[in-house]
Amino acid sequence: STNLNGKIAFINGGSRGIGAAIARRLARDGATVAITYHASAIAAEALVAEIEAGGGKALAVQADAADAVTLTRAIDSVADRFGRLDILVNNAGILRLGPVEEFALEDFDRTVAVNVRSVFVAAQAAARHMGDGGRIINISSTNALRMPFAGGAVYAMSKSALTGLAKGLARDLGPRGITVNNVQPGPIDTDMNPADGAMAPSMHGFMALPRHGRADEVAAMVAYLAGAEAAFVTGADLLIDGGFAA
Ligand code: NDP
């Protein structure tokens, strides 16, 4: 485990799947964890109750990642309540698929708003409250490198955008001792991409490790990046994809 005792973490999109696993892991490692949710109020409150039952500290705030004002207010309120912020995890993401001929601009705009714009908005808000040792960790995707199926152009674009964003933010925030990195998971068993879904066999067909990953495997990489040992890692894309892009 990583020692995150006394750290304050904010997870943009933490009610289900990978974000919930990250919340559990950071709380287990000692951090106080604030999660946001959009639709899943019940799941978010259940997660907070689970973490607190296990002796951890957690709270949930409703904030649509696409709403910059609400997201910024949520970050400010958590930072004000605890006096600062140490770790920001941008996990909120949506997967809208469709052939280019039919892809609605509304879906393009929503994808960019949640998967890209919210990362910038949250980083901007969080950086105001962070000091030396601050951590910004974005959940990108192996699809930033490789999109082996039709219909995923906009999703792949949204994730590859995070590569440039993290590199640039790392330059802006490095002088203040804040690191910015992307984690790029391959297929992870969640509501978004169930291990028994229709696409699973074809994905496993070209992976070096032919299985879905677990959300807690991704959370372990996030915990590493959040900890003191990762102080020299910044502007990086870290793959955790079972060889999907190998
Ligand atoms: P899920 O669909 O299972 O969960 C998505 C989470 O993001 C939920 O907690 C959801 O909250 C939250 N979220 C979505 N939209 C918003 C929004 N507008 N505002 C706030 N929160 C929001 O997805 P995963 O756990 O699988 O994915 C998490 C991240 O990992 C995403 O960025 C995804 O792109 C990325 N990823 C996933 C992979 C996979 O195979 N599963 C592979 C590679 C990357 P709520 O329910 O409250 O809306």
- The answer to whether 11 and 185 are in contact (CB under 8 A) is no
- Between the CA of 20 and the centroid of ligand 1 the distance, in Å, is 10
Q: Annotated catalytic residue: which of 10, 37, 82, 155?
A: 155
**Dist. CA 46–CA 89, nearest whole Å:** 20
Model pLDDT for residues 189-208, shown as the tens digit of each residue: 999 999 999 999 999 999 99
Whether 155 is a known active-site residue: answer yes
Q: Is the CB of residue 194 less than 8 Å from the CB of residue 151?
A: no
Q: Looking at the domain 8-240, which fold is it?
A: Rossmann fold (3.40.50)
Distance set, CA 150 to CA 6, 86, 99, 110, 154 (Å): 45, 39, 7, 19, 11
- Rounded Cα distance between 98 and 227, Å, is 38
- What is the value of ipTM here, to two decimals? 0.99
How do the domains of the chain map onto residue ranges?
Answer: 8-240
**For 67-114, what is each residue's pLDDT tens digit?**
999 999 999 999 999 999 999 999 999 999 999 999 999 999 999 999
pLDDT of residue 146: 98
Per-residue pLDDT of 111-135, as tens digits, reads 999 999 999 999 999 999 999 999 9
Which of 16, 40, 142, 145 for a ligand 1 pocket mutation test, highest count of atoms within 8 Å of Cβ? 16
The residues lining ligand 1, judged by C-beta closer than 6 Å to any ligand atom, are 13-19, 36-40, 64-66, 91-94, 114, 139, 141, 185, 187-188, 190-193
